[in-house]
Structure 1
């Protein structure tokens, strides 16, 4: 065979060998090794301690319910009950130590990200009742007229 065939083949083989050698130095030894034998995944026994040191930024409704049980129960019976509290209020990291860190966002942008009417409804998000933010009280915060903890379905129907 001519050299124009062998050269690209040697280059390709060289790259494969280079990648395999680099893998030995870059990939941790316990990558892909699990209790059930060889498997790929993000979990490695060797970095469990690293993950234990990671601070969890978001909590759950159960965390909020410890102090705000009435609000969590109340909103749980509303259409917004499927949302986590932190979707609107922000992350609860360090909340008990420093209550002002938990923000209450009253901006229209927060509500509009779910409640803007979709022009081409093709997802599950299209089942949420939407408004035209350009014409529906464009200068006002939504919470002036609507209580997000007690959304009224009849009121939402009027705005469709």
Structure 2
């Protein structure tokens, strides 16, 4: 065969050999090893202790319910019930000891993530009422007019049902 066939073949074989050598040097010996081979994907037995030492930053709504049961039940019945408390109130790591109260994100950008009007409503997200953030009270926090724990309250007031 001519050299124009052999040269690319040698380059390809060389690249494969280089990748296998790099894998042998860089990938830990216990990577993916388990009773049934690569059953756990990116699992590595050698760093289990490291992962057990990692402090979990976020809790669950069940953690919030322990002290704030009434609030959790109330918001659970609202359209915002599917949103985890920590999306607005920040991570509960160390709460209630340090900090005694959580930081509340009252920024417009938090609300606009879901409530910006969609130009091309083609997903389930289109069912959420949207606003134009440039014309709807620009610069004001949404919580000045809207209660995120009772998002339907304003609509009920408009229809005289409260």
The question of a shared fold, defined as TM-score above 0.5 by the shorter chain, is answered with yes
Q: Which residue of 2 aligns with 1:8?
A: 8
Q: Which residue of 2 aligns with 1:18?
A: 18
Q: Which residue of 1 aligns with 2:81?
A: 81
Shift of 1:3: 2.1
Q: Describe how 1:10-159 pairs up with structure 2 within 5 A.
A: 10-39=10-39, 41-99=41-99, 102-152=102-152, 155=155
TM-score (norm 1): 0.86
Gapped runs of 5+ residues in structure 1?
A: none
Q: Deviations over 1:23-82 (max 9, x none)?
A: 111112222322323446122222211111222111110111122111111111111100
Gapped runs of 5+ residues in structure 2?
A: none
d(CA) in 2 for partners of 1:71, 1:12 = 63
d(CA) in 1 for partners of 2:9, 2:101 = 60
Q: How many residues in Structure 1 have an aligned counterpart in Structure 2?
A: 157
**Cα RMSD over matched residues?**
2.1
d(CA) in 2 for partners of 1:90, 1:78 = 20
Q: Which moved more, 1:116-125 or 1:38-47?
A: 38-47
d(CA) in 1 for partners of 2:73, 2:153 = 18
Question: Is 2:32–2:41's contact at 8 Å kept on the other side of the alignment?
Answer: yes
TM-score (norm 2): 0.85
Structure 1 residues 49 and 101: alpha-carbon distance in aligned structure 2, compared to 1, 3 A threshold: farther
Shift of 1:150: 0.9
Question: Is 2:95–2:102's contact at 8 Å kept on the other side of the alignment?
Answer: yes
